[in-house]
C-alpha cells in the first residue's frame, strides 16, 4: 500500500498559542501584546506558552520564566489557569463532534479527526476543515491551525506548517514532493537520539532517509526501522482512535532475561502502570478494571483482575492496585513477562465529582494533568519517577 491508494480524510487541528490566546480573548486589552503564561516574572517556573507577539523576543514554551522576563520585561506575565483551558478544550471538542464521532484528542488543544465518512453529509475534507476553523473563530473567538491529508502523520505535519491561523492541504499526489525536503526531525518518533544517529550516517532530509532500504533501517533502529521506512514515504496506517472505541489499554514487557527479584518486578510494574495510566488519561477515560498478567519461562501464564467501585486514572492508584495484584500471585520462579491491562472504561466527563471528595486526590489529578501535558510535548519521560531513573529500563 502507498500513500496514493490511501483514501482516508484526516484533519489535524492545533490551536494557536492556546493558553495565551484564551487569556488575550478574555482580556482584550492584552490583544497584540506579548503575553507569557506560566507565572510571575520572579517565579522559578517555566513558560507554558506565549503569544506570537512574545515569541518575537525568542520566548518559547519550557523556557525559565526569569529568562523570558529578561528578554521581554514589558511583557504581560500570567499564571496558568488550567481549569479555564480545560473548559475551552471541551468546547472545541464539542465542535469537532458535530462533524465526526472519530475524534482523537492528543492534548488540550490538539486532535485528529477522521472525516472520511462525513464527506457525503458535509462536503469535502477541505470544506469541513474550513468550517471547523470558522466555527472555532466565531463561537470561541480563537484561531486554530489545521492540516488536511490522507493520514495522521501528514495531517499533523501540515497543521504545523503555516502557524498561526494555518490551513494546509496535502495533495495525495504530491506527498513525496512535500516530504522530501523536510528534515528527518519532522518525523514522528524521531527524537534527539534517533536524529543524532541519522545525522552520523549523513541522513538529514526525508529524501536522504528514503535512500535506506528497510533491512538497513531495521538493523539500525529495530522496530522503529519499519516505521521510518513507511513514514519517509508518507505511509501511516494508524487509525484515528476515538475515545469511545477503546475497549482496553494494556502494555506488557517480555524481559531479555527472566526476573526473579520482586523489587525489580515492582519497578517494571511502575513503568507499566505509568504508561497505561497516561494512555488512559490521553483518551479522557477512567477504568474500573485492572488486570495483571504474568508469564513464566515455561510459558505458563497467569492473570489476576480486580474491578473497583470507582473508576480510576491516577498513576499512584493504578500502581498500587497492580502491586496488590502482584502480591496475590505466588512467585515460584523467575518471570518472563509482566503486563497490565485496564478495561471497563467510563469517560472522564461523566465521572461524578462526588467520587473525588478527597481533596488530596483532586490536587493529584491537577498535578497529573500538568505532568501529562509536559510529557506529551517533550517526549514521554521528561517528568518521571525517581525509582525509574535509578533503574532505567
187: left (phi over 0), alpha (psi -120 to 50) or beta: beta
Site mask for ligand TTP (CB under 6 A), range 46-65, x = bound = --xx-----------xx---
With respect to ligand TTP, which residue has the nearer C-beta, 72 or 259? 72
Cell of 276: 497505561
196 given a catalytic annotation: no
Smallest distance from Mg ion to CB 159, Å: 9
> Using the rule CB under 6 A, is 89 a contact of ligand TTP?
no
With respect to ligand TTP, which residue has the nearer C-beta, 78 or 290? 78
Round the CA-based radius of gyration of the chain to a whole number and report it.
23
Which residues 328-387 are close enough to bind ligand TTP by CB under 6 A? 373-374, 377
The entry of Mg ion, ligand TTP, none near residue 373 (CB within 5 to 8 angstroms by kind) is ligand TTP
3-state secondary structure of 101: coil
Neighbours of 317 (CB within 10 A): 17
3-state secondary structure of 71: helix
With respect to ligand TTP, which residue has the nearer C-beta, 341 or 368? 368
Q: Which of 50, 70, 69 is nearest to 60 (CA)?
A: 50
Q: Which of 56, 140, 48, 138 is nearest to 93 (CA)?
A: 140
With respect to ligand TTP, which residue has the nearer C-beta, 146 or 149? 146
Out of 3, 8, 14, 240, the residue judged to bind ligand TTP by CB under 6 A: 14
Is residue 77 within 8 A of residue 40, CB to CB? The reply is yes
3-state secondary structure of 142: coil
Span near ligand TTP by CB under 6 A; candidates 11-19, 167-175, 296-304, 383-391: 11-19
With respect to ligand TTP, which residue has the nearer C-beta, 48 or 184? 48
Out of 12, 18, 268, 292, the residue judged to bind ligand TTP by CB under 6 A: 18
> Using the rule CB under 6 A, is 163 a contact of ligand TTP?
yes
Neighbours of 327 (CB within 10 A): 12
Smallest distance from ligand TTP to CB 12, Å: 11
3-state secondary structure of 206: helix
- Selecting among 23, 110, 230, 373, the annotated active-site residue is 110
Strand-strand pairing, 144-149 and 10-15 = antiparallel
Q: What angle do CA 112, 7, 130 make, to 5 degrees?
A: 50
Length of the chain counted residue by residue:
393
Task: Evaluate the CA torsion angle 369, 371, 375, 381 in order and state its sign.
Answer: negative
Smallest distance from ligand TTP to CB 380, Å: 13
Span near ligand TTP by CB under 6 A; candidates 17-25, 26-34, 167-175, 314-322: 17-25
Catalytic residues, by residue number, are: 110
Q: Which residues bind ligand TTP (CB under 6 A)?
A: 14-19, 48-49, 61-62, 109-110, 163-164, 373-374, 377
Amino acid at each position: 500500500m502507498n500513500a496514493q491508494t490511501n483514501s482516508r480524510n484526516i484533519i489535524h487541528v492545533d490551536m494557536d498559542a492556546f493558553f495565551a490566546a484564551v487569556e488575550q480573548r478574555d482580556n482584550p486589552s492584552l490583544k497584540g501584546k506579548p503575553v507569557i503564561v506560566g507565572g510571575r516574572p520572579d517565579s522559578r517556573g517555566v513558560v507554558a506558552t506565549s503569544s506570537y507577539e512574545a515569541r518575537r523576543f525568542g520566548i518559547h514554551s519550557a523556557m525559565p520564566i526569569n529568562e523570558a522576563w529578561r528578554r521581554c520585561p514589558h511583557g504581560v506575565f500570567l499564571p496558568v489557569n488550567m481549569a479555564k483551558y480545560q473548559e475551552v478544550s471541551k468546547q472545541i471538542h464539542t465542535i469537532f463532534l458535530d462533524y465526526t464521532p472519530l475524534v482523537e484528542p492528543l492534548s488540550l488543544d490538539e486532535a485528529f479527526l477522521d472525516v472520511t465518512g462525513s464527506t457525503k453529509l458535509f462536503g469535502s475534507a477541505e470544506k469541513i476543515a474550513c468550517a471547523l476553523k470558522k466555527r472555532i473563530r466565531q463561537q470561541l473567538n480563537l484561531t486554530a491551525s489545521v492540516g488536511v491529508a490522507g493520514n495522521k502523520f501528514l495531517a499533523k505535519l501540515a497543521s504545523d506548517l503555516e502557524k498561526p491561523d494555518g490551513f494546509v492541504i496535502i495533495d495525495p499526489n504530491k506527498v513525496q514532493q512535500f516530504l522530501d525536503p523536510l528534515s528527518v526531525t519532522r518525523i514522528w518518533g524521531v527524537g534527539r537520539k534517533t536524529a543524532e544517529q541519522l545525522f552520523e550516517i549523513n541522513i538529514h532530509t526525508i529524501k536522504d532517509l528514503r535512500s535506506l532500504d528497510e533491512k538497513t533501517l531495521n538493523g539500525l533502529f529495530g522496530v522503529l526501522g519499519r516505521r521510518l521506512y513507511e513514514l519517509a514515504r508518507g505511509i501511516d496506517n494508524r487509525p484515528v482512535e476515538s475515545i469511545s472505541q477503546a475497549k482496553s489499554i494494556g502494555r506488557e514487557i517480555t524481559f531479555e532475561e527472566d526476573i526473579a527479584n520482586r523489587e525489580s518486578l515492582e519497578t517494571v510494574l511502575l513503568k507499566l502502570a505509568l504508561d497505561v495510566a497516561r494512555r488512559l488519561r490521553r483518551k479522557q477515560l477512567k477504568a474500573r478494571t485492572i488486570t495483571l498478567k504474568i508469564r513464566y519461562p515455561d510459558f505458563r501464564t497467569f492473570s489476576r483482575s480486580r474491578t473497583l467501585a470507582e473508576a480510576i486514572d491516577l498513576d499512584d492508584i493504578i500502581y498500587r492496585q497492580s502491586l496488590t495484584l502482584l502480591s496475590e500471585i505466588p512467585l515460584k520462579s523467575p518471570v518472563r513477562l509482566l503486563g497490565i491491562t485496564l478495561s471497563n472504561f467510563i469517560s472522564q466527563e461523566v465521572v461524578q465529582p462526588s467520587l473525588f471528595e478527597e481533596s488530596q486526590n483532586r490536587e493529584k489529578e491537577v498535578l497529573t494533568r500538568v505532568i501529562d501535558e509536559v510529557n506529551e510535548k517533550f517526549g514521554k519521560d521528561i517528568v518521571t519517577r525517581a525509582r525509574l531513573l535509578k533503574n532505567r529500563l
